[in-house]
Structures are given as C-alpha cells and as structure tokens.
Amino acid sequence: MRLKNKVALITGASSGIGRETALLFAQEGAQVVAVDLDDEGGAETIALVRAGGGVVTYVHADVSNAAHCEGMVQTAEETYGHLDVLFNNAGIMHSEDDDAVHTSEDVWDLTMAINAKGVFLGCKFGIPALRRAGGGSVINTASFVAQLGAATPQIAYTASKGAVLSLTRELAIVHARENIRVNALCPGPLHTELLMKLLDTDAKKQRRLVHIPVGRFGQAKEMAHAALYLASDESSYVTGATFNVDGGITAAYVTPE
C-alpha cells in the first residue's frame, strides 16, 4: 500500500476529485479526514470509503474560515495522531463568473475566498501539523487555466488558480529543508457535475473539447491517481512542481477558426 500509516486530509471531499481521492487514498492505506460544507455529499463519501474497508472521519468546514481550517487540522491530529498529507482541493467555479466587465465584485470575492484564501488557510494550519509529523506532502488543486487562460471567460476562477500556483511555488521553496513538499495539481477540463452544469449545451462542450488533444474530458478518478503519486513517498524529490494532468491541453492550446 502506497500510503500505509499515513494520515491524509482532503478538502472538497463530498464530490468530484475530492471524493475519488478519498476513496483511492483509503484503498492505499491512508487514514482519511474528509472535509466539506456539503454534509449530504460528505456522508455519501464516508459511506463509500467505509464500504471499501477504509478508515475515514468527516469534518464540516468552510475553507475560507480560519477557525474551521484550524479545527479540521486539529481533528486530524486528535483522531489519528498526526498529519502527513494535506490536499487543498476545495474550490468553486461560479456560474456568473465572466470577464472583468461583467463579473460582479461579490462573485470575485467569493471565488477568491474559497479558491485562493482557502488554500492559504489550509497551509497556515496544515503546515505546522506536517512539521510536527516530521514532514509531509501538500497538494494544491490549481488548473490549466492558471497557465493559459480560459477559452470561455471566467476571470475570478482563472485569477484564483493563478494565485494557487504562485502560492505553491513559494511555499515549496520556504519549506523544502523541512521535508515538506508542496506541489500544484493542474487538471484539464473534467467531466464533473460542476463543469457539466456550466457547459450545458453540446456547442459549449465542443468549444472546450476542440482544444484537448486526447479529444475527451478528464475523469476525477484520473486526478486522484495523480494526487496519489504526489502524496506518496514515490514523489520524494518532487516539490514546487506544476503537475499538468490535462489531456495535452497545455502543450497544444489553439483557438479554432
């Protein structure tokens, strides 16, 4: 088992990448702390993990709230004794996120609070726990749009993921000598409920698919396997990395005629 005896905290664990990662990490021997605001989805994740024989604890937390982030880390240490892996995965893509002219200040602030501040707060309280454990791995979910920009305007989301990428690089440098690795997972467009709700017509879907060399949306389970590598000791020499798992989109991003 690649994560035997490790404790992993995963935010955004009620669906998508977070749920698939909780399932996979548990299968690989980790004791999992699943964090989310969606308690119904969280209960489903917990049930699925336990049905597979995994060990998991659920924490209701808003990642944009400092007290909640401190509490989720405290729960991990109190329940399992230490923390080895911090996966700052929670994020939103607001349906009213548009270009700079049409995006409201409220949408901007909410997106930044969850996607960027949430990663900052996770690290603020999680990194001291990793330090107490003698080291560990931080994985921050960014996006391919942090490097390229999106074909469909989503200015707050794109900016927030750019912040995650920059934050990841700096933390990797700051904590490298403490045996704490910090890497950014950059998914391409995924077949998740979140994205499919936004791409609600075939025309919108094709506008995205035309950019992806492999010709399909990614699956949350594929991102979970990438996160597993970054969480495991197999990636012990990997820090400050931008880990693109995107079907080739960042290698060949073109605008169709």
The full set of domain ranges for the chain reads 7-191+219-242
**Is the confidence at residue 256, as pLDDT, over 60?**
no
The CATH number given to 7-191+219-242 is 3.40.50.720
Is residue 226 very low, low, confident or very high in pLDDT (cuts 50, 70, 90)?
very high
> What is this structure's pTM?
0.95
pLDDT for the residue numbered 255: 52
Q: Decide: helix, strand or coil at residue 184.
A: strand
The pLDDT assigned to 64 comes to: 98
Task: Give residue 253's pLDDT.
Answer: 59
pLDDT at position 254: 56
Residue 251's contacts (CB-CB under 8 Å, 6 or more residues apart) are 213
Q: Give dist(CA 64, CA 72) in Å, integer.
A: 12
Question: Quick one: pLDDT at residue 231?
Answer: 99
Active site residues: 157
pLDDT of residue 219: 97
Answer whether residue 257 shows pLDDT above 50: no
Average model confidence (pLDDT) across the chain? 95
Instruction: Provide the 3-class DSSP secondary structure of residue 242.
Output: strand
Distance CA 99, CA 84 (A): 39
Tell me which of 36-50, 119-133, 199-213, 228-242 is least confident.
199-213
Average pLDDT over residues 85-102: 95
pLDDT band at 202 (very low <50, low <70, confident <90, very high): confident
> Residue 128 pLDDT > 90, yes or no?
yes
CA atoms of 31 and 56, how far apart (whole Å): 6
Output 257 or 81, whichever has higher pLDDT: 81
The answer, yes or no, to whether residue 193 has pLDDT greater than 80, is no
Q: What average pLDDT score do residues 129-151 get?
A: 94
Tokens linked to 222? 């594929």
Among positive and negative, which fits the CA dihedral 195, 196, 198, 199?
positive
Q: Which residue has the higher pLDDT, 257 or 18?
A: 18
Per-residue pLDDT tens digits for 214-224: 999 999 999 99
Q: Which two tokens stand for residue 203?
A: 């025309």
